[in-house]
Structure 1
């Protein structure tokens, strides 16, 4: 989804194509839907079991679990009978060896939740599995399928006609409305309450996992066109050294801002390993110099990764939900500031807790809460445009290659759920001359640069206490965050 949008934006930027407002709203609806789906699935099905002990849930009292859940949520499934049914499922699952979870670190001293909270979290893990397959139908309505819904250079690949069977008609728009309402309930009555409940037992994790002090956001949700990032819901910019008084502008076309290095990467540049290349001048020439597989260690090898190392003005950057919240907070976006302050108040933790594993995990929840608000707003705006028949979803002005200039170059930026994503394209005589991507994983997971500076993943692990080296659940928590 995000790569499809980034590639469309790159071509549109290169050729000067303006997307119709209705198409922009649909793109925003699809992006907000992705954010919500991604964050819910991330918490329950990737990250939750770093904090939740499945086996310990067997000790829970279902009645007490229901009372506890009812104290912070109106979710109608939070009943003693339901939690008892889930507990029975866990018993059968455990009796058969726990399946894919057999190698979990259950009983590890780093797990701190009481049995009832563990049971609530496992129950909602199962609920989320069912719910997540519903919200993606929004992508199927507007993009034809999920995963990997269709996008279109110049707009979106769907037409709107409330009376046409083959178009986005009244029935499909009403379906989207119902799915948004269901998502609103799940996010605000299940996901956010669970996140806050679990976080309240792990406040000490506000001290660990901070890592880098630099944050980059590409910005997202254009409201006046992709060419006006100042009107984005999430602003584009950089915060350096956690200085919230200044947001530095980002120009992805400036050859001196974003560069990729290969001092520790299995690639070669014509200018040598010390060169840093802007993506428009980027080279991707594989040059593996590591040991012959299979091997047990890369120790002693200067190069140790297939990831290049991107830097912004020579600075390593963290990207992701926390980064975009930090940039938006520093940029003075009041909706972000109010939500962050309210959440810190509920948890009774200082603002410094944001810069941690706990803060990063909470940031995903806040990101989803904002996306939920904006999704409802975008849908409302779409319906208003439909009412006045402003339903153009495609600009075909430069569809034919014969209308293109001989040479063109563009950048497509997307603030993906996992962070800053960018595609750079150079077009020569109607064909792609060079195409380079810098994705969230390369920002966060790249190897050291020539100066020996770590990137975000590794930097965030420094100082993390680990109870058992052979069961490093603490390390997994930070990496998953």
Structure 2
């Protein structure tokens, strides 16, 4: 037996996550466990409230995917009450949600995930002239999927790279690496050349400015970012914004700037990293479960969301078999708590409509490690039709590709062909990262279509943004239930509500990081994070770079995934977190 490796806390994520891995004598991971070590609570707060207030509370489930929970919760109540918002509301919601996607994915690639691939200190040895040629090389390998024109590199002159290098030298000399401190520079798992590292670092810094402009997109129609406030049950409230050509034009300008950066920096950098790490992708490092699920999202017509055409199709792909896609049936979704710090009144997984949130914290073992034979995480274990599945951008691309969706196939084939890579590379850590980039390209392009559609509809005189309904007649003395199945940037997001006599009777959310970050289930089957680490070779167990690389490829959002504590404020436990460097061996 090799080492028992503990990585706690996992940084550059949202929330609190601990990974324990078992290595064999060759430092290859043979077992892994994923644990959410802290909780947050929202669902019980919903009980007894007016359903129309729920979306504003549900938004606070997360500080990152705020608009997604807002949107999903609103849709959940609308489904329960049988309300379909008008065309303008559909388009505005798509634009707000799409804005979150392009901002979230760009920030993730550069500021949360890039340092798993990029050795910043190596960039000090780069030749700026060669770096400029390198940036041009990878950009020119891409053609615009809409126009066919060759992509030109972003801010990639020799002078630019020389200036970035000088900034880095000053940071190092002063001992102030800032966001680049406390990393595993020099680790053998880093494979980019010094010039490639310099290109990526330069774009990392550029992305700090660009993401600020991207964040403004949500605020134009949402009122603010990160917690928009313009969605209501039945539609949206931003009538004055859609009436104002200047606001629509400003949105279009920011969208154009975002597209420039995505196509000229993000995608070439992804292609560069993908080519360098192609051998790992071909070996399937980070593949994991091989089962993928997407609920589908982004209404493309004015039919109800569960009947109309969607930008991202719904479906389930099992065992990486692209020849067969199964339809999603929400009644087949359950949550198990065998290895989670909760208990149920019944000894079986529960559907969210009957979901329970009853904490049962049993702690760690005496040696400070997880009690992996018992309960070891605050995340429940979701199951779909007796399968553990992965969700997220890669799942959306795989399901869409398997469905034969024309748009998704075009973009996936376009990027793979640009890098001369086979489809099988998608089933890996590299592929998971590539799926997110492909999706970002799709999103920034389709958002322009939605903006044009909104502008034309408003210009025709249609200013309707809300569907009128009589709440009392729909709810008084009645019981109703509904669900919202959407796609957050990190994957399939579901909210379920039961309403009795106009008040919330029960509310449950099963989020992307619940699906991906969950512990074992009642059959001892792994969650997606755990399965993705099996078979990963580590160059230096004291520097768990490979673990971070694969876990970050999911973009964990752990606060979304955990459930609630005692609603009466009873103290259930006291915890003190004292990070000591991020990794230790036991």
Answer whether TM exceeds 0.5 for this pair. yes
Alignment check: 8 A CA contact 1:141 1:168 kept: no
- Determine the structure 2 residue equivalent to 1:46: 112
Alignment check: 8 A CA contact 1:65 1:117 kept: yes
- Determine the structure 2 residue equivalent to 1:442: 514
Structure 2 residue aligned with 1:223, among 297, 300, 309?
300
Distance 2:494 2:334 in 1: 12
Structure 2 residue aligned with 1:317, among 382, 389, 396?
389
Q: CA deviation at 1:194?
A: 1.1
Runs of 4+ in 1 over 4 A off after TM superposition: none
Using a 3 Å threshold, how does the CA distance of structure 1 residues 66 and 448 change in structure 2: closer, same or farther? same
The question of 1:142 aligning with 2:215 is answered no
The question of 1:418 aligning with 2:490 is answered yes
Superposed, 1:122-137 pairs within 5 Å as 122-137=201-216
Superposed, 1:399-478 pairs within 5 Å as 400-405=471-476, 406-478=478-550
SS in 2 for 1:136: helix
Superposed, 1:305-384 pairs within 5 Å as 305-384=377-456
Q: CA deviation at 1:339?
A: 1.9
Distance 2:243 2:208 in 1: 27
Using a 3 Å threshold, how does the CA distance of structure 1 residues 172 and 306 change in structure 2: closer, same or farther? same
Alignment check: 8 A CA contact 2:81 2:474 kept: no
Worse-superposed segment, 70-79 or 460-469: 70-79
Distance 2:309 2:419 in 1: 32
SS in 2 for 1:48: helix
The question of 1:18 aligning with 2:92 is answered no
- Determine the structure 2 residue equivalent to 1:250: 328
- Determine the structure 2 residue equivalent to 1:240: 318
- Determine the structure 1 residue equivalent to 2:170: 92
The question of 1:157 aligning with 2:232 is answered no
Alignment check: 8 A CA contact 1:246 1:330 kept: yes
Alignment check: 8 A CA contact 2:363 2:371 kept: no
Unpaired runs of 5+ residues, structure 2, are: 1-66, 140-151, 554-586
Alignment check: 8 A CA contact 2:353 2:508 kept: yes
Per-residue CA distance 1:91-145 (angstroms, 9 max, x = gap): 1111233234321000111111111110110010011010011112121110100
The two structures have a TM-score, normalised by structure 2, of 0.78
The two structures have a TM-score, normalised by structure 1, of 0.94
The question of 1:269 aligning with 2:344 is answered yes
Using a 3 Å threshold, how does the CA distance of structure 1 residues 457 and 300 change in structure 2: closer, same or farther? closer
Distance 1:41 1:77 in 2: 18
Using a 3 Å threshold, how does the CA distance of structure 1 residues 279 and 194 change in structure 2: closer, same or farther? same
Alignment check: 8 A CA contact 1:229 1:236 kept: no
- Determine the structure 2 residue equivalent to 1:280: 353
- Determine the structure 1 residue equivalent to 2:37: none
- Determine the structure 1 residue equivalent to 2:21: none
Q: CA deviation at 1:282?
A: 0.5
Distance 2:157 2:305 in 1: 50
- Determine the structure 1 residue equivalent to 2:193: 114
- Determine the structure 2 residue equivalent to 1:164: none
Alignment check: 8 A CA contact 2:131 2:195 kept: yes
SS in 2 for 1:9: helix
Distance 1:453 1:42 in 2: 28
SS in 1 for 2:411: helix
Distance 1:433 1:456 in 2: 32
Q: CA deviation at 1:300?
A: 5.8
Worse-superposed segment, 96-105 or 187-196: 96-105
Distance 2:486 2:226 in 1: 18
Using a 3 Å threshold, how does the CA distance of structure 1 residues 444 and 350 change in structure 2: closer, same or farther? same
Q: CA deviation at 1:230?
A: 4.9
SS in 1 for 2:480: strand
SS in 2 for 1:221: strand
Q: CA deviation at 1:301?
A: 4.9
Unpaired runs of 5+ residues, structure 1, are: 162-166
Using a 3 Å threshold, how does the CA distance of structure 1 residues 454 and 30 change in structure 2: closer, same or farther? same
Alpha-carbon RMSD across the aligned residues, in angstroms, is: 1.6
Q: CA deviation at 1:352?
A: 1.3
